[in-house]
Structure 1
Amino acid sequence: MTTTSGLAIVTGASSGIGAALAQKLAARGQPVLAIGRRAHRLEELSARARAAGHASIHPFELDVTAEGAAERVRDRARELGGASWLVNNAGATRIGPFLEGDPAAHAMLVRLNCETVVALCAAIVPDLVARGGGRVLNVASLAAFQPTPGQSVYGATKAFVLSFSESLAVELDGTGVTVTALCPGPVTTEIFDVGAPGVPRKKLPLELSAEGCAAYGIAAAERGDVVAIPTALSKATAQLSRVLPRAAIRRLSARVGLPLLGYGAPRRGVRD
């Protein structure tokens, strides 16, 4: 059954998949609490929803890694009538050899991609259970299924999101709350520009648009899918990771992982 009553919380809503998710949820009549650090982007998103006659998008400028951020999101959602969706989309990557990276940036990546997902689920999911139903959509990645040399911390954080989501889905069985881990391959967003600034990247022919990824994720969450992998090629890649020996997957990922993201060859890395 389609769930459009109640507020949808969307993190990382100022661009990319998050902005597309917020727009599509509002377009189907669901109010959205759009969270991000760039207030002007959120205001533009809200204005577009108003102009189109869609449900309200409520901008909420917030760094979700800040102390107490999850509780602030919960409190604001309650002020707006209570959440029925939680979309953990905010995330980032760093591309380059681990030892050439900034240790503080590595730590922040773990905080953003893992700790905030846990904190927001801990803050919001009890309210979803109390209302008798809801959707949790955690944006993971195809990178969750194998080691990712060249972006080792990112791949590990997305493996965490996948495992956490699957476990939480089982724990919430029977509550009316479903949990979906969305695991797309490359999506055309700003994440690569931020993760590897100034490094040339070729857009891939089969690369998903943010809008296409968002639509797939919403439909998967409505179906109650626990693991959602857009495109047949990505599904086949994930399956390959399950059947090949781990040693073979490590070698294969080291050789072709970055080129499959649109980079010419494995690189020496980028410092922040």
Structure 2
Amino acid sequence: MTTTSGLAIVTGSSSGIGAELARQLSARGQPVLAIGRRAHRLEELSAQARAASHAPIHPLELDVTAEGAGVLVRDRARELGGAAWLVNNAGTTRFGPFLEGDPAEQAMLVRLNCESVVALCAAIVPDLVARGGGRVLNVASLAAFQPTPGHAVYGATKAFVLSFSESLSVELDGTGVTVTALCPGPVTTEIFDAGAPGVPRKKPPFEISAEECAAYGIAAADRGDVVAIPTALSKATAQLARVLPRAAIRRLSSRIGLSFLGYGGLPRGARG
């Protein structure tokens, strides 16, 4: 069932999938609380919504890994009339061998990609349940379905998001609140520049746009899908990871995982 009334909270709205999610939700009439660390990008989103006479986009400059961020978001959402959607989109990656990475950056990945999702769900989902319904859309990745040598921590964090989302969807059955894990393959965003700055990359032909990914995720959440995987190729890849032996999946991921993303080889020492 489509839910277009009530505030949509969207993290990671400064660019990429998050910005597109904010735009599309606003365009269909939902006010948006757009959260990110780049205030000027959020202000641009808000101005675009006003110029198009769409539902308002309310900017909130915030690092979602900060202490108490979930409570701050909850309180601001209540001031704006209460949340109906929670979209946990904020995330990043780092490419390169684990032992060549910065331990502090690896820990940051876990805080951003995993801990912030848990904290925001803990803060916002009780309000959705009390409201009698709502949508949670957690942006995971196709990487959630298999090991990801070359970006090991990223893949592990997205596996966490997928598992957490599936478990939460069962726990919330009967409350009117649905949980969807969006698991796209490669999407054209700034994440590749952040994950391996300066490393050459050839965009694969099956890469989708942030606009396409956002539209697919919103439609999947409207339907109440628990796991949403855009494109037939990505669906087949996820299914393959479920049926092949784990040892085979590890070898396959090691050989072709990064080339699937458009890298010719392992970006050694690549750090954001």
On the 8 A contact 2:195/2:271 being kept in 1, the answer is no
Structure 2 residue matching 1:109: 3-state secondary structure: helix
> Which residue of structure 2 aligns with residue 113 of structure 1?
113
Gaps of 5+ in 2: none
Q: What is the DSSP-based 3-state SS (H/G/I as helix, E as strand, rest coil) of the residue aligned with 1:258?
A: helix
Amino acid in structure 2 at the alignment position of 1:202: K
What is the correspondence of 1:244-255 to structure 2 with a 5 Å cutoff? Answer: 244-255=244-255
Does structure 2 conserve the Cα–Cα contact (< 8 Å) formed by 1:150 and 1:269? no
1:27 and 2:27 matched: yes
Q: Is the 8 A contact 1:144 1:155 kept in 2?
A: yes
Q: Counterpart of 1:236?
A: 236
Matched AA of 1:30: Q
Deviation, structure 1 residue 146? 0.1
Q: Which residue of structure 1 lines up, in the alignment, with residue 194 of structure 2?
A: 194
C-alpha distance in 1 between matches for 2:200 and 2:41: 25
TM-score scaled by length of structure 1: 0.99
What amino acid maps onto 1:140 in structure 2? A
1:262 matched to 2:258: no
Q: Does 1:83 align with 2:108?
A: no
Matches within 5 A, 1:135-150: 135-150=135-150
Name the amino acid aligned to 1:257. G
**What letter matches 1:122 in structure 2?**
A
**C-alpha separation in 2, matches of 1:122 and 1:23:** 25
* SS of alignment partner, residue 18 of structure 2: helix
How do 1:61-210 and structure 2 match up within 5 A?
Answer: 61-210=61-210
Matched, 1:39 2:44: no
- Tell me, in whole angstroms, the C-alpha distance in 2 between the residues paired with 1:156 and 1:126: 27
Q: Quote the residue 1:55 is aligned against.
A: 55
Unaligned ranges ≥5, structure 1 = none
Distance in 2 separating the partners of 1:200 and 1:146: 24
The normalised TM-score by structure 2 is 0.99
Write the distance in 1 (CA, Å) between the matches of 2:42 and 2:184.
24
Aligned length: 272
Contact residue 255 and residue 266 of structure 1 kept, 8 A: no
Provide the secondary structure at the position in 2 that maps to 1:94: coil
Residue 17 of structure 1 and its aligned partner are, at CA, apart by 0.1
Secondary structure in structure 2 of the residue aligned to 1:206: coil
Give 3-state SS (helix, strand or coil) of 1:85's partner: strand
Paired residue type of 1:3: T
Letter in 1 for 2:148: T
Poorly superposed stretches of 4+, deviation over 4 Å: none
Coordinate RMSD, CA, aligned: 0.6
